[in-house]
């Protein structure tokens, strides 16, 4: 038997049948490879049993100031109505949309401690104050700008220019999605009807792959 000429007896029907079987084998191998690759990324042993499976991050641009909600400034109230001291202007000689040196404005609201933890919350949040012991208030964060939009960018992606991956993008990059057909990072917006392109930096993927960008 001459094996070099054995293909001459192969009919078109047989060729298509064998080709379909080969393609199916390749597809099956690809699916199994995805499962195996997912299984290799086992989580490390935590020192406690994790409970959180999802993250809901509420970033409310335009909301009340932190100095009116969770961050009382006694010194600011003391200087209410007075011109900003020069020693506070070393790194900020100019203010956006404000001419000259503005006067300081303290918070007009009352603060007091709540819960066993003694978390300080203003009178504007009477209902939230009832669950003060379930909250963690962080007052150590700051930016290097006094301009609103760059500060918002810094909050969401760690840079004033807004050109790096946002918090949700890093979560998507590190944890992925439990469903290959659904995005790992979704975004719900409110009050955005004109499609302002600058807002994309608030949930952008930066230098990561586009699949890690937030999906509105």
121's enclosing H/E stretch is: strand 119-122
β-strand pairing of 119-122 with 111-114? antiparallel
With a CB cutoff of 8 Å and minimum separation 6, the contacts of 141 are 155
Q: Dihedral sign for Cα 61, 63, 65, 71, please.
A: negative
The upper half-sphere exposure of residue 2, i.e. CA atoms within 13 Å in the direction of its Cβ, equals: 5
Position 75 scores a pLDDT of 92
Band (pLDDT 50/70/90 cuts) for residue 132 is very high
- Residues 165-207: tens digit of each pLDDT: 998 898 888 877 777 788 888 888 776 665 555 677 788 888 8
pLDDT at 79 over 50: yes
Query: pTM of this prediction?
Result: 0.64
- Residues 108-128: tens digit of each pLDDT: 999 999 999 999 999 999 999
User: Helices marked H in 45-145 — which ranges?
Assistant: 74-78
Percent of the chain scoring above 90 in pLDDT: 24
The b-or-e profile of 94-115 (16+ CB within 10 A means b, else e) is eeeeeeeeeebebbeeebeebe
Pairwise CA distance, residues 168 & 102, whole Å: 37
| Contact (Cβ atoms closer than 8 angstroms) between residue 67 and residue 49 | no
């Amino acid at each position: 038997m001459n094996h070099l000429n054995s293909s001459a007896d192969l009919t078109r029907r047989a060729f298509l049948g064998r080709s379909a079987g080969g393609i199916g084998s390749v597809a099956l191998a690809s699916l199994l490879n995805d499962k195996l690759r997912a299984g290799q990324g086992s989580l490390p042993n935590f020192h406690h049993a994790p409970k959180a499976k999802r993250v809901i991050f509420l970033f409310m641009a335009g909301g009340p100031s932190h100095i009116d909600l969770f961050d009382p400034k006694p010194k600011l109230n003391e200087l209410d109505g007075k011109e900003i001291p020069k020693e506070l202007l070393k790194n900020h000689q100019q203010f956006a949309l404000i001419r000259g040196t503005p006067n300081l404005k303290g918070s007009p609201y009352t603060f007091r401690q709540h819960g066993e933890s003694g978390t300080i919350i203003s009178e504007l949040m009477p209902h939230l104050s009832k669950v003060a012991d379930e909250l963690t208030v962080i007052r150590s964060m700051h930016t290097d700008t006094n301009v609103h939009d760059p500060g918002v960018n810094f909050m969401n992606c760690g840079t004033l220019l807004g050109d790096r991956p946002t918090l949700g993008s890093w979560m998507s990059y590190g944890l992925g999605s439990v469903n290959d057909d659904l995005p790992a990072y979704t975004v719900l917006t409110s009050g955005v009807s004109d499609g302002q392109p600058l807002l994309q930096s608030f949930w952008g993927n930066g230098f990561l792959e586009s699949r890690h960008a937030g999906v509105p």
